[in-house]
Chain A
Amino acid sequence: MPDLKEIQEEIIAEFQMFDDWMQRYEYLIDLGKSLPLIAEEHKLDENIIKGCQSRVWLHAEGEKAAVHFRADSDAILTKGLIALLIRVFDGQPAEAISGANLYFLDEIGLKEHLSPTRANGLLSMVKQMKFYALALQAN
């Protein structure tokens, strides 16, 4: 399985094909539409991360060697970004996740979506993913 850095490089290469923001956003929207939804049983209030703008559901499971994430959002652009974040994190070892540097968002020009002022729940979701990985490491 490719590591965190390799997956991020892959995504950066894919986004280089796009000429402008429209194409990047259209790709995000497509990704959002294709993201496997979180199972209804996991779409619980306790799994909800409330942003002021959009809401995110996150379910994590697995073990130290490989952590698995499923997530969803009520906004499609947020969901597209979740798809990218899950592609990077899903199945990775806990240690790699908790210490991850998500530089690819900056490279593909979507860093602003992870800003606290966006209040879309994404930044909290990443924190939650890292926190989960950290908890697994301590076990």
Chain B
Amino acid sequence: MIKESVQAFPISKVRQDFPILHQEVYGKPLVYFDNAASSQKPKVVIDAISDYYNQINSNIHRGVHFLSQQATDAYEAARETIRKHLNAEKSHEIIYTKGTTDGINLVASSLGQGLIKSGDEILVSQLEHHSNIVPWQMLCERSGAVLKVIPINERGELIQAEFEKLLSAKTKLLAVNHISNAMGTINPIKEMIQKAHEYGAWVLIDGAQSVPHMAVDVQDLDADFYTFSGHKLFGPTGVGVLYGKEKLLEMMPPYQGGGEMIAEVSFEKTTYAGLPHKFEAGTPNIAGGIVLAKAIDYVNQIGLDAIGAYENELLHYGTQRLKSQFPDLRIIGEAENKASVISFLLGDIHPYDVGVILDKLGVAVRTGHHCAQPIMQHYGINGTIRASFAFYNTKSEIDQMIDALDRAHNMLA
């Protein structure tokens, strides 16, 4: 079944949708394997940005005039598209943010105003991006709560037995990613959410790396918060989404003050607007929100199941080719359940050196610690070379990377 959908994957048509891919860098065809950092944009998304500014640009929610209503309708229709995509129950459970980092900071800052207290425990994991560590550390410093860390095994998977040992009546919040940005590990978050709920803890899922690769159903997962960035989902930078359960969002105090988030303001007392506006102070990224919905529509036209199956084939092809070509290659993170990310080291060559040579050969990869230093500390390394694939990548691009790595290996070893 899956095999058929992979064979039928319309790769040449898909590649035509992404103008940026059809260029040469340093005289070599561009191979873009830095998708986990930021994805490229299809033409429908790029065009939608200029359409917005050419046709309906105006401030939303306040104006009585024609353009303002057009922009407001488009912005709120986009919220509804996002709701449907995540299968959230209500569209006011969808809060627009600047991105994943902003969403996490919103929750940490708001919960820190009395909802998480001294002695409470916050659970994160060793797999987290710094943006799902530092806001919680800051909250702990402010509130006197305690941060606990779920360890990983050698394959880069969360040790579930250790996670269960860390859970207790003190656990107030579990904050983990759905997919690790540095290694691609897919975490069993549905089971983890269920276990955390047994102890009455809230759960925030960092979905930055998952939404580009798989369908997410927040009700099925029973996540309390789920947050992601637009730019990793083939949309623009500077816009993201925080899903939160209505009951929780109602209970939480606002994050930032300003226009849009108020019901009534006087110097004696200000009352706040209802959801979602309570968490959306100031003029938002209107174009970003509207265009993000276009990106979601685009992905759904291709189908996330087909995308996932195709990317899985790229992952296995890439892993096999790397392993057979370079006996001294070490893959960091070999989780059984893994997204299309390969983190690796080539002998004892420094990742930076490999990255620089690959760049000169047209291949864009990420090198370094990928904002996940605790993972690097676990493996006793300073960084890795990371190739992350999207559905517009191909096996022949992987071949080009292997050739480039071969040259880098010869120069540097």
Chain A residues at the B interface, C-beta cutoff of 8 Å: 21-22, 25-26, 29, 52-55, 74-78, 119-120
Contacts and interface: CB of A to CB of B under 8 A. Distances in A.
A78 B352 contact: yes
B411 A53 contact: no
Contacts of A120: 352
A114 to B, nearest CB: 13
B412 interface: yes
Of the listed residues A29, A75, A119, the one surrounded by the most CB atoms of chain B closer than 10 A to its CB is A75
Contacts of B351: 53
Contacts of A119: 368
A76 B350 CA distance: 7
Contacts of B411: 22, 25-26, 29
A77 B412 CA distance: 9
Interface string B333-364: 00000000000000001111101110010000
Contacts of A22: 360, 411
A22 B360 CA distance: 9
Nearest to A52: B368
A119 B352 CA distance: 10
B355 to A, nearest CB: 8
Interface string B357-386: 100100000011100000000000011000
Contacts of A29: 411-412
A134 B395 CA distance: 54
Contacts of A76: 349-350, 353, 412
A75 B356 CA distance: 11
30 contacts: A21-B26, A21-B360, A22-B360, A22-B411, A25-B356, A25-B357, A25-B360, A26-B411, A29-B411, A29-B412, A52-B369, A53-B351, A53-B352, A53-B355, A53-B367, A53-B383, A54-B352, A55-B382, A75-B350, A75-B352, A75-B353, A76-B349, A76-B353, A76-B412, A77-B352, A77-B353, A77-B356, A78-B352, A119-B368, A120-B352
Contacts of B382: 55, 74
A6 B165 CA distance: 67
Q: Which 6 A-B pairs have the closest CB atoms?
A: A75-B350, A75-B352, A53-B352, A54-B352, A77-B353, A53-B368
Given A76-B350, A119-B368, 19 more contacts: A22-B411, A25-B356, A25-B360, A25-B411, A26-B411, A53-B351, A53-B367, A53-B368, A53-B383, A54-B352, A74-B350, A74-B382, A75-B350, A76-B349, A76-B353, A77-B352, A77-B353, A78-B352, A120-B352
